[in-house]
Amino acid sequence: MMTASEIRQHFLDFFQSKGHTIVSSAPIVVKNDPTLLFTNAGMNQFKDYFLGNKKAPYNRVADTQKCLRVSGKHNDLEEVGVDTYHHTMFEMLGNWSFGDPENAVAGYFKSEAIAWSWELLTEIYKIDKERLYVTVFEGDVKENIPASSIALAEWKKIVAEDHIVYGNKKDNFWEMGDTGPCGPCTEIHVDCRSAEERNKIPGRELVNKDHPQVIEIWNNVFIQYNRKKDGTLEPLPAKHVDTGMGFERLVRVLQNKQSNYDTDVFSGTIEAIEKISGQKYQALDDKESIAFRVLADHIRAISFTIADGQLPSNTGAGYVIRRILRRAVRYYYSYLHYKQPLLFQLVPVIAKQFEKVFPELNQQTDFVGKVIKEEEDAFLRTLDKGLKKIDGIIDQAKEAKKQIISGTDAFELLDTFGFPIDLTRLIAQENNLSVDEEGFENEMKIQKERSRAATALDTEDWQTINEGNSNGFTGYNELEIESKILKLRKVKGKGKELYQIVLEKTPFYAESGGQIGDTGTLTINNQVINIIDTKKENDLIIHFTENIPSQLHGDVKVSVNKDRRKSISIHHSVTHLMHAALRNVLGNHVSQKGSLVNEEQLRFDFSHFAKVSDDELSRVEKMVNQKIRENIPVVIQSMNKEDAIAMGAMALFGEKYSDTVRVVVMDPNYSIELCGGSHVGNTGEIGFFKIKHESAVAAGVRRIEAVSGKAAEMLIMEQSEELKSINDLLKNPKNLSKAIENLQAENNSLAKRIEALEAHQLVGVRNELLQKDLVINQVNFIGEIVEVPSADALKKLCFDIKHHLTNHLIVLCSNIGGKAYVAVGVSESAITSKNLDASKIIKEIVGPAIIGGGGGQKTLATAGGQETGNFQKIIANIKSLL
RNA sequence: GGGGAAUUAGCUCAGUUGGCUAGAGCGCUUGCAUGGCAUGCAAGAGGUCACCGGUUCGACUCCGGUAUUCUCCA
C-alpha cells in the first residue's frame, strides 16, 4: 500500500516528467485580494495569469496547495467531522498550463490534460478502469455555449462509452466568480463500492449524486471564456488548463478505506487524541466519534494558518480561525469530557508529519502551540462565564414555569457572551427545557442581514481607456512621472462612491508589507484629481479617487505626496533597524508577526514570550539611535531568493516570495531583510527614534509603537513643553515626581480634615436641634431651618438626629446656594403608629411648595427645588400631621 | 466594516422600576487566642462606581460621546 507521502510524491514526479515546474504551496492566508480570506483552491496563486494581469514565468506548473474552506455550497463548517470526507483544511494537487497567445506551443490544452490524468490514475496509481467515470459538459442552449466536443472525443479514445456521463452547467462549467475567467470542465469520479453493490446499480447512475462511495476525485477545467458583468461571455486570447485533485480523497481511494480519517493522513493525530483523552476512536456516527474527527481535522487548519502568520482575532481571517478552534474545543469539552486545553498538545504531531512538505509549521511549533493554548484557555473562561449566565436564565424560566428558553435569550448568550448554541441546547435538555429554535434563527438572520447591508459593495465593469499592459511601479526612484490611464471603474459602498484607476506605470506605492498606500495627485489637461489611497488587488496597483477627470485619454502627470512618502519611508527604514535591535537585545526567536507603517508612526508585532522590560526597551532605543547616527547607506538590490537567504536575509512566514527578491541591507552585519517597501538613502535621514508604547496582542506576541523623523520631533516637543509647564506650576522643584507625591499626600490629608471638621460642625448643629425637640402626641418633632454646606450634609445631619431619637418626625430645610433642600426623617415606630411616610410627605407636601421634587425611603427622603421662601409653611404643614 | 455587552475595594463579583450614609467573599493591616503551623476571634484601612458631557431637585443607576476589554455577524 502506498503511503500518503508516496502518493503525493508520485503526483509531483509524474508532472515533472511531463515538463512541469514544481512550485511550493502559497500561504494559506491570502493577502491583497479583497474577495478572498484564505486560499480555497490550487489556482488562487495563479489568478493573475488567468486574469491577464501578469505573464506567467513558466507555462507548465504543478504543486500541492494548502487550502481552507469553511463555507460554500458543499462545505459548511458545521458539517465537517459529521461525515467522513469533508475538511476545513485540505491539500489540493494540481497541474496547470498557462496559455500564451504569442507562443502557441508553450502550453497544452484539452487532449494532453485528459490523456495525462488517465495515465496517472490508471498506470501510476493503478486504479481499476472499471471503477472510473468521467463527465463531459453537455452545452447550454440558454447561454449559447456549445457542448465539449473536443473533450468528448479525447475521452472516447481511452474510456468505454458507458463510463462517460454528460453534465449540465452546474456540474461541468466552472466560474471563478460572478465575473472573470471561466470555462467547461471534465471531472473524474471513482466508484468505491463493493462488487455486489456495483452489480445492483451501475456506477454511472450515482455520479454527482452525493453518494459517499461514488466520489469526484479530479476536476480538469479548461479556461477559455471571460464573463462580463452583463453576463455575456467573450473568448479569451489565451486558453489555460486548471486542475485540482483532493489529496485526502485520493489517499482514501488508493488505500482502500471507507473514510478519509482511516488513512495515514489522519491516523497519527487520532492516535494522539486517544492517548490524551484516554478514549478510543470507534469510527461511528456517534458524538464521540464525530469529536475525534472534528479535532483531527481542525487542528490542521488552525496550526497551518497560525504558522502562516494569521493569529486568531475577533475580525476577518483571524475570526475564522478562532471559530474553528472554538468548535474543536466545544467538541472535546462536551463529548470527550476533557475540560482543559487539548489542541495545543497535537501541534508537535502535525508538525512532524508535515515536516518535509510544509516545513513552516515544524519551524515554529513552540510559538504555534502557545498561541493555541492561550486561545483554548480564553475560550474555556468564556464558557465558564456563559454557564453562570445560562444558570440564571434557567432559574428564571423555572420560576415562570416555562418549558422553553426563548430565542432572544439563546441568541443573547451566543451574541454577547459567546456561548455556543449547541451547548445551550445540551444544558436546556439536562434541565428538561427546550430552546425556541425559530426565534433564535430569526435573530441570527436579522444580524446577518444587518452585517451584509453594511458591507455591500457594488463594483462595476472595468472600462478600458487605453490598451496596454500595466508594467508596474516606478516609485522607488521617481515620485512624479508621465503615464496613461489604462482602465477605470466605479465602486459603490457605504454610501460612498469611489473610482478605481489603473495606470500604465505608476510611482504610487500600493499598501502592502505593512506600508500604507501613497496619496498624491493626477493631472490631465490642467485638471488636478486627488488620489486618496493606493491598494493592490493581487498584483494590480489600483488608485482610488473621488472623481474622474473630464478628459481620460492622453498623457497624465501623476505625482506622489513627497513629504508624506518621506515620513513613511523613515518609519519603514527604522522598523528594520528596530527589528534587528530587538533580535540583538531579546534573542533570535524574535520574528515579525505583523507591521503597520504610516506617516505618523510605526507599529511592529513580533514573537516574544514575556513583557519587554523598560530596560530592554531603552537598550533597543539606544541601539537604533546609534545606527541612525552612524549614517549607514541603505543598499537595495535584487537577487536570487536562495542567494538572499544564504546571505542571512530574514524572510517572513506566510509571505509569498518570487524567485527574484528585493533585499534591503543596512550594514551587512546588522540588518538584511527581504522587503518591497520604500526606504531612505542613509539611516541618518531618520533623525531620531523613540518608542511610545509596548503591549501584548496575543499569547507570545508583543507590540511596539514608535516614532521617528518629524513625528518623533513633534512627540518630544509636546512632552517637553508639558513637562516645562508642570515644572513652572510647581515653581521648578528639585525633584518633580517627589513634589507631586507630596502634593497628592497633602491633598489627601486636607480632604480628610475637611471631612472631619464638617462632621464635627454637624455634631454642634445636631445638639442644638435636639434642644428644640417638641413632643406632640408621643412623637418627637423637630422642624428647623438650618445652615449646612451641602445637600449631602443635610442628609447626614438628619441621619445623625435619627440615631438620637427613637420615636420621631424630623423636617430639616436649608438654603444652599440659592436652592431649596429639604430632608424628612421618620422612625419605624411613627410609620406604623401615625401612618407616616417620608417619601409621601416629600412628594405631596414638600415638592410643590419648593417648586421641585424628590423621593426616598419611608424612613428618610430628600427633595430639592427653586423656591426657598416657604420653609416655615412646610414645617407647619408637616407638624400638623401629628 | 456592522451589531450586542462589560468596566464598582488589591482580586472575584452583588447592587431589581433614579433617592439604602455604595456592599459581600478572598486578600491586606493591627490586636487577641494557640508551643509553632494550619487556623480561629475581633477591630480597621482600602472607592473619582473607567473617563467626558447631558437630563434631573438628586445619577453607580437614564441618555450621548470617548477609551479599554469581551462577544457575534460580514
- Write down which residues 784-843 in A have CB closer than 7 A to strand B: 791, 795-796, 799-800, 803, 819, 821
**pLDDT for A538 beyond 70:** yes
**Per-residue confidence (pLDDT) for residue A786, from 0 to 100:** 87
Among A254-258, A421-425, A775-779, A793-797, the range scoring the smallest mean pLDDT is A793-797
Start-to-end CA distance of chain A, whole Å, equals: 103
Do residues A380 and A341 lie in contact, with contact meaning Cβ atoms separated by under 8 Å? yes
Percentage of residues of chain A with pLDDT beyond 90: 46
| A433 CA to B20 C1' distance (Å) | 38
What are the C-alpha distances in Å from A326 to residues A67, A273, A304? 20, 17, 16
Q: Which nucleotide C1' is nearest A859 CA?
A: B20
Contacts for A312-316: CB closer than 8 Å, 24+ residues apart:
A312/A371, A312/A375, A312/A698, A313/A698, A316/A37
**Per-residue confidence (pLDDT) for residue A72, from 0 to 100:** 64
**pLDDT for A745 beyond 70:** no
**Per-residue confidence (pLDDT) for residue A131, from 0 to 100:** 95
- Write down which residues 448-467 in A have CB closer than 7 A to strand B: 448, 450-452, 454-455
| A599 CA to B62 C1' distance (Å) | 42
- Write down which residues 475-504 in A have CB closer than 7 A to strand B: 494
Query: pLDDT band at residue A311, thresholds of 50, 70 and 90?
Result: confident
Protein contacts on strand B: list nucleotides below 7 Å from a Cβ: 1-5, 13, 18-21, 56-58, 70-74
**Per-residue confidence (pLDDT) for residue A596, from 0 to 100:** 87
**Per-residue confidence (pLDDT) for residue A74, from 0 to 100:** 60
Q: Which nucleotide C1' is nearest A420 CA?
A: B72
Q: What is the mean pLDDT of residues A14-30?
A: 93
**Per-residue confidence (pLDDT) for residue A751, from 0 to 100:** 66
How far, in Å, CA of A828 to CA of A195, rounded?
93
| A63 CA to B54 C1' distance (Å) | 64
How far, in Å, CA of A833 to CA of A65, rounded?
87
Task: Give A97-143 pLDDT, tens digit per residue.
Answer: 998 777 766 789 999 999 999 999 999 999 999 999 999 999 999 88
Residue A314 contacts strand B, CB under 7 A: yes
| A435 CA to B13 C1' distance (Å) | 29
Query: pLDDT band at residue A816, thresholds of 50, 70 and 90?
Result: confident
Task: Give A769-786 pLDDT, tens digit per residue.
Answer: 888 888 888 888 998 888
Contacts of A462 (CB under 8 A, 6+ apart): A487, A488, A489, A502
Task: Give A500-533 pLDDT, tens digit per residue.
Answer: 999 999 999 998 888 989 999 999 999 999 999 9
- Write down which residues 842-861 in A have CB closer than 7 A to strand B: 852-857, 860-861
**Per-residue confidence (pLDDT) for residue A301, from 0 to 100:** 95
| A372 CA to B4 C1' distance (Å) | 26
How far, in Å, CA of A91 to CA of A756, rounded?
76
Going by C-alpha positions, the residue among A545, A594, A543, A595 that lies closest to residue A568 is A595
Task: Give A606-661 pLDDT, tens digit per residue.
Answer: 888 777 877 888 999 999 999 999 999 999 999 998 899 888 888 887 777 888 89
Going by C-alpha positions, the residue among A1, A101, A115 that lies closest to residue A59 is A101
| A501 CA to B68 C1' distance (Å) | 39
**pLDDT for A534 beyond 70:** yes
Q: Which nucleotide C1' is nearest A865 CA?
A: B57
Q: Which nucleotide C1' is nearest A411 CA?
A: B72
| A415 CA to B5 C1' distance (Å) | 9
Query: pLDDT band at residue A741, thresholds of 50, 70 and 90?
Result: low
| A789 CA to B20 C1' distance (Å) | 22
How far, in Å, CA of A360 to CA of A688, rounded?
36
The DSSP 8-state label assigned to residue A485 in this structure reads E
Task: Give A440-486 pLDDT, tens digit per residue.
Answer: 999 899 888 888 887 777 788 888 899 888 878 999 989 999 999 99
| A438 CA to B67 C1' distance (Å) | 38
| A357 CA to B53 C1' distance (Å) | 60
**pLDDT for A817 beyond 90:** no
Q: What is the mean pLDDT of residues A394-410?
A: 83
Q: Please give the distance of CA A720 from its chain centroid, rounded to a whole number.
A: 38
| A425 CA to B14 C1' distance (Å) | 28
- Write down which residues 115-174 in A have CB closer than 7 A to strand B: none
Q: Which nucleotide C1' is nearest A850 CA?
A: B57
| A749 CA to B43 C1' distance (Å) | 23
Q: Which nucleotide C1' is nearest A314 CA?
A: B71
**pLDDT for A736 beyond 80:** no
Q: Which nucleotide C1' is nearest A800 CA?
A: B21
Residue A312 contacts strand B, CB under 7 A: no
| A792 CA to B22 C1' distance (Å) | 14
**pLDDT for A310 beyond 90:** no
How far, in Å, CA of A284 to CA of A340, rounded?
25
- Report chain A's mean pLDDT, rounded to a whole number: 88
Q: Which nucleotide C1' is nearest A385 CA?
A: B70
**Per-residue confidence (pLDDT) for residue A730, from 0 to 100:** 79
| A873 CA to B14 C1' distance (Å) | 43
CB-count exposure of residue A176 (10 Å: 0-12, 13-18, 19+): buried
Instruction: Please tell me the total number of residues recorded for chain A in this structure.
Output: 882
The DSSP 8-state label assigned to residue A506 in this structure reads B
Do residues A501 and A545 lie in contact, with contact meaning Cβ atoms separated by under 8 Å? yes
Do residues A39 and A310 lie in contact, with contact meaning Cβ atoms separated by under 8 Å? no
Task: Give A162-190 pLDDT, tens digit per residue.
Answer: 999 999 998 899 988 778 889 999 999 99
How many helices (H) and strands (E) chain A has is answered by 26, 32
Q: Which nucleotide C1' is nearest A71 CA?
A: B74
| A738 CA to B32 C1' distance (Å) | 39
Q: What is the mean pLDDT of residues A744-755?
A: 67
Residue A379 contacts strand B, CB under 7 A: yes
Going by C-alpha positions, the residue among A559, A633, A572 that lies closest to residue A601 is A572
**pLDDT for A804 beyond 90:** no
Q: What is the mean pLDDT of residues A268-286?
A: 95
| A751 CA to B47 C1' distance (Å) | 15
| A575 CA to B66 C1' distance (Å) | 30
Q: Please give the distance of CA A821 from its chain centroid, rounded to a whole number.
A: 55
Among A53-62, A237-246, A299-308, the range scoring the smallest mean pLDDT is A53-62
Pairing of strands A132-137, A180-191: antiparallel
- Write down which residues 380-399 in A have CB closer than 7 A to strand B: 382, 385
Q: Please give the distance of CA A339 from its chain centroid, rounded to a whole number.
A: 26
Q: What is the mean pLDDT of residues A843-860?
A: 84
**Per-residue confidence (pLDDT) for residue A315, from 0 to 100:** 79
- Write down which residues 532-551 in A have CB closer than 7 A to strand B: none
A58: cell is 513558466
How far, in Å, CA of A256 to CA of A1, rounded?
9
